[in-house]
């Protein structure tokens, strides 16, 4: 189960920037018991990811435990005190995805060979110990598959031959990206924002899997440090005729 909250943020004395998401993550941990906070902060649990795009805060809670613990906090918050300013929150929506079946159905309904993938908050990958500030197909697929398998261990994507065919059938055909930095705990992480146009030339079954992964990206994020505010994603179906 995945629960997604969206809030509109307002602050009278502070410009809302994407890296404010890290402070909101810290605030959420402070609202939990020390035992609950330790579970959420452990990287292998991957129960929460969140990001800020413009003045919208998106929070994704992965699993019933996260939905119960953090959802209760989010349902009752209207203001957050952060150091010298107050952040006001207006809940815009709360959406629940029940599980893999729902995501697979979303993938089938998506049914597009060409999709625009928007990186709504600073995004980066890490490979060979280096930050990668361009979303290569293999890095994108690896990130989505790894996160899917973490979230749905009962429905893992592990057929190496099928994954190799999937990777060979997806191609970035256009992009509008700019580099940026995500400031986190005194570190400035090289990243990018913008969008890519990605085309899939795949058999129907693999196309449905790929589109399900794209739909999943909106709830789990892409790349590194999605719990701390990076890698927020949104997909937009695109008319293929405009790229013929």
Length in residues, the chain: 244
pLDDT at 133: 87
Per the DSSP assignment, residues forming a β-bridge with 234 are 118
Spatial CB neighbours of 120, under 8 Å, sequence gap ≥ 6: 51, 53, 58, 193, 232, 233, 234
Q: Which tens digits make up the pLDDT trace of 182-223?
A: 998 889 999 999 999 999 999 999 999 999 999 999 999 999
pLDDT of 15 strictly over 60: yes
Q: Per-residue pLDDT averaged across 111-132, rounded?
A: 92
How crowded is residue 118: how many other Cβ atoms within 10 Å of its Cβ?
18
Q: Which helix (H) or strand (E) holds 94?
A: strand 85-97
Domains of the chain: 2-97 (3.30.70.1890), 105-243 (3.30.70.1900)
What global pTM score does this model have?
Answer: 0.92
Q: What is the DSSP string of 167-217?
A: HHTEEEEEEEEEEEEEEETTEEEEEEEEEEEEEE---HHHHHHHHHHHHHH
């Amino acid at each position: 189960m995945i629960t997604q909250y969206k809030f509109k943020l307002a602050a009278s004395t502070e410009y809302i920037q994407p890296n404010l998401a890290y402070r909101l993550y810290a605030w959420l941990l402070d609202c939990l018991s020390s035992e609950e906070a330790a579970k959420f902060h452990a990287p292998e649990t991957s129960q929460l990811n969140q990001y800020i795009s413009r003045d919208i805060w998106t929070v994704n809670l992965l699993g019933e435990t996260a939905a119960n613990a953090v959802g209760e906090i989010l349902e009752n918050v209207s203001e957050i005190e952060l150091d010298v300013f107050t952040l006001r929150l207006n809940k815009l929506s709360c959406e629940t995805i029940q599980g893999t079946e729902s995501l697979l159905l979303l993938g089938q309904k998506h049914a597009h060979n060409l999709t625009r993938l928007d990186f709504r908050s600073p995004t980066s990958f890490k490979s060979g110990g280096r930050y990668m500030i361009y979303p290569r197909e293999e890095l994108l697929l690896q990130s989505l598959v790894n996160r899917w398998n973490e979230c749905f261990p009962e429905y893992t994507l592990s057929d190496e031959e099928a994954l190799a065919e999937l990777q060979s059938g997806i191609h970035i055909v256009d992009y509008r990206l700019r580099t940026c930095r995500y400031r986190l705990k005194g570190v400035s992480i090289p990243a990018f924002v913008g969008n890519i146009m990605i085309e899939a030339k795949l058999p129907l079954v693999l196309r449905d899997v790929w589109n399900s992964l794209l739909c999943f990206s909106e709830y789990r994020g892409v790349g590194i440090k999605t719990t701390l505010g990076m890698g927020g994603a949104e997909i937009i179906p695109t008319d293929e005729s405009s790229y013929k």
